[in-house]
Amino acid sequence: MGAQLRVYKRRIRSVSATKKITKAMEMIAASRVVKAQRKVAASTPYAQELTRAVTAVGTGSNTKHPLTTETENPTRAAVLLLTSDRGLAGAFNSNAIKAAEQLTARLEREGKQVDTYIVGRRGVAHYNFRERKIAESWSGFTDEPTYADAKKVAAPLIEAIEKDTAEGGVDELHMVFTEFVSMMTQTALDARLLPLRLEEVAEEVAPKGEILPLYDFEPSAEDVLDALLPRYVESRIYNALLQSAASKHAATRRAMKSATDNAGELINTLSRLANAARQAEITQEISEIVGGASALADATAGSDR
């Protein structure tokens, strides 16, 4: 009994130490998600207005440009997958990777060759383990991304969309990221960044019934689109990075809270088992004492006779 009680006490100490760690990680994630939410709220209007400007140029001109003109027979596409550098976030990374794999399979069924670009060590590790080709990858900034990080990610993608497919370029640019809906809900989404579907984007950025203003373009609509292309891609990637960071912190907070609660339940269970083992040990000791006293009394009574 004594050995079993020591085992229970050792496990309680171990689980209690783990509970302290998960509680601290929960509090850290909770503080970070608030900051990430503020950054998402600050960047979203800029991204929407930039998309609105691109839509206005695209619908107001007949210029053929990679930003707004679809290729008749697209043969290559680029997919940018946003994951995190760290785990302990529940199904956050697995959901994003699953969405990227489904998108890749759909594009391949359409007869397109897919180049995969990945942000985050978790996504890179997943693809490397399965020996899948990665065009380019980035890591080290997923918890707190900056606009400079977005520009670094966007540069090779813009270069690929501007090249001909014969020279290694792509016809389409897709992105898979996790949208931050609320503290309890984060959704893995895939979105086509380029070329823009002008009708769909116009419905998103303009309220129902609103007519987009007419513009005069100087020096030309094509030059305006050339200037807007990198800004548009960078702003959308930056907003997606912020959404992904906020979603990751929310997922970590939820996972650590669940781990903390489970640790508390396990400690209660082990404490009950330890108390039962201690009570059994005390009962056994009392029984041994009573038995010994009874035997001694019987021996004394026999000698008196």
Domain membership flag for residue 193: yes
Q: DSSP for 126-170?
A: HHHHTT---SEEE-S-SSS--HHHHHHHHHHHHHHHHS-GGGT--
Q: Does some domain include residue 145?
A: yes
CATH code, domain with 156: 3.40.1380.10
pTM: 0.81
Residues in the chain where the model's pLDDT stays below 70: 1-2, 58-67, 197-215, 217, 298, 301-305
- 160 φ/ψ sector (left φ>0, alpha ψ -120 to 50, else beta): alpha
Number of domains in the chain: 1
pLDDT value for 148: 93
Residue 277 lies in a domain: no
Domain annotation covers residue 17: no
**What distances in angstroms separate CA 278 from CA 5, 263, 264, one per listed residue?**
7, 22, 21
pLDDT digits (tens, 9 = 90+) for 29-81: 988 888 888 988 888 888 887 777 777 776 666 666 666 777 778 889 999 99
Q: Where are the beta strands (DSSP E) in the chain?
A: 76-82, 113-119, 136-138, 172-180, 186-194
Contact 171, 77 (CB under 8 A): yes
Q: Is residue 170 part of a domain?
A: yes
User: What is the distance of C-alpha 121 from the center of its chain?
Assistant: 12
Identify whether 222 is part of a domain.
yes
Q: Is 132 domain-assigned? A: yes
Given strand 113-119, what is the order of strands in its sheet?
Answer: 136-138, 113-119, 76-82, 172-180, 186-194
Residue 1 lies in a domain: no
Q: What is the pLDDT of residue 294?
A: 75
Domain interval for residue 250: 23-257
